[in-house]
Amino acid sequence: MSAAIMERAGAVMANTYKRQPLVITRGQGWQVWDDAGRCHADFVAGIAVCNLGHSHPALARVVAAQAATLWHVSNLYYTVPQIELAEWLTGHSFADKAFFCNSGAEANEAAIKIARKFFKDNGQPGRYGIIAMERSFHGRTMATLSATGQDKVRKGFDPVLEGFSFVPFNDAKALAETIGPDTCAVLMEPIQGEGGVRCPDPDYLAKVRELCDRTGTLLIFDEIQTGIGRTGTLFAHEHFNVTPDIMTLAKALANGLPIGAMLATDRVATAFGPGAHATTFGGTPIVTATALEVLKILTEGGAMDQGRETGVYFKKALMALKAKHRCILDVRGLGLLLGVKLAGDAAPVVDACRAKGFLINAVQDKILRFAPPLIIPARAIDDLIACLDEELEAIDKMCI
């Protein structure tokens, strides 16, 4: 059946994804099933999206209740679920105002626009440059791929938008040398996800904040992958006691329903007045009601605490693998956003794990990335570690 379904997809769908040969038909908790009825442990979670797992009963109830009440009326009017979500997010973060959209790329578009407009509104129209990080990933729209520090993402879309420059991640000296009178913002992920699960040095984000304060530059944290409990805290920047002026969220915010958010301080938010920015579907009642329930379950139901504890357990197990296998060069990450850098190509390991019922993925060719639901049990981690242990033996032999 899978081959027939994949053939149908090839006939009618744009070939923009390098999909794995798997047709998923059902999910429950940390597991998914394919069209042959085979169960797989999901260590991808929709790419760090389904933090509460699949088909969560409380979320299903919220979706059904809201769908039976009000679906969509546009942002020409007020809706209570949207206001309640904004109240929750601003009440649990540095921010004062929220703008809702449909995706992470849209949230970053909003952040780029508000940063540039902030300086134009304050009499500095020439201050529009944005410094991003090498190996960063901020989206695939024209503005966000222009802000992405990976040539493979930008390839074929020249000319990209002007005003973006890049410095190495974790290099405060390079950033200090690059910030100039035309710089309006520094845009960065606190932990690079697509860039290889790369964590900052303990004092790096504080140095970035100090540089921004000293030069009057806005600091934007892209927490699209790292936010909503993924690293063990609600937002990854909390690990480093540093706050931005602007933050973007998406992915896990509604556990898979399409929503993005751009949060900002009052000082910055004044740049967005009526007509400055908009979206038809941003923050509909169904997605905002679901997102609010997600946040309550994470923080009040113990899911985030569980994920933090499980992340420690998982990383310890990966470190034990590293001690055993010479092909593992590094173990990275926080919470349940973890990466393993291999000496060789990671794709064969992904394929072998899938064949044995474990869904993982690879980034930057040689790095295995693990981002399971925060509710993943220890026994599933133990089973994956056993699978990896077996598969890495073959790679070890090639590293001799």
* CATH at residue 338: 3.90.1150.10
State the CATH number of the domain containing residue 188. Answer: 3.40.640.10
Do 271 and 181 lie in one domain? The reply is: yes
The pTM score is 0.97
10 Å CB burial of residue 76 (0-12, 13-18, 19+) is exposed
Is residue 96 domain-resident? yes
- Both 201 and 89 in a single domain? yes
Asked if the structure places residue 351 within a domain, the reply is no
Whether 46 and 191 share a structural domain: no
Residue 400 lies in a domain: no
Q: What is the pLDDT of residue 1?
A: 63
Catalytic residue among 34, 222, 235, 240: 222
Catalytic residue among 251, 315, 341, 366: 251
* pLDDT at residue number 222: 98
For residue 165, tell me if it sits in a domain: yes
Which of 137, 164, 169, 272 is catalytic? The answer is 137
Question: Is residue 359 a part of any domain in this protein?
Answer: no
Decide if 137 is catalytic: yes
Could you tell me if 314 and 320 are in contact, meaning their C-beta atoms sit under 8 angstroms apart?
A: no
Half-sphere exposure of 382 (CA within 13 A, CB side): 3
- Rounded CA-CA distance 47/51 in Å is 10
Domain holding 316, by residue range, is 2-55+303-344+366-378
pLDDT (tens place) for every residue of the chain, 400 residues total: 689 999 999 999 999 999 999 999 999 999 999 999 999 999 999 999 999 999 999 999 999 999 999 999 999 999 999 999 999 999 999 999 999 999 999 999 999 999 999 999 999 999 999 999 999 999 999 999 999 999 999 999 999 999 999 999 999 999 999 999 999 999 999 999 999 999 999 999 999 999 999 999 999 999 999 999 999 999 999 999 999 999 999 999 999 999 999 999 999 999 999 999 999 999 999 999 999 999 999 999 999 999 999 999 999 999 999 999 999 999 999 999 999 999 999 999 999 999 999 999 999 999 999 999 999 999 999 999 999 999 998 787 776 5
Judgement on whether residues 154 and 204 belong to the same structural domain of the protein? yes
Domain total of the chain: 2
Residue 400: per-residue pLDDT: 59
Regarding whether 287 and 161 lie in a shared domain, the answer is yes
* Domain identity same for 141 and 31: no
Q: Is residue 386 part of a domain?
A: no
Residues 259 and 371 in one domain: no
| Same domain assignment for residues 265 and 147 | yes
> Same domain, yes or no, for 71 and 211?
yes
Specify whether 274 is located in the same domain as 231: yes
pLDDT of residue 177: 98
- Structural domain contains residue 208: yes
* Pair (77, 147) in one structural domain: yes
Is 211 part of any domain? Answer: yes
Same domain membership, residue 313 and residue 271 = no
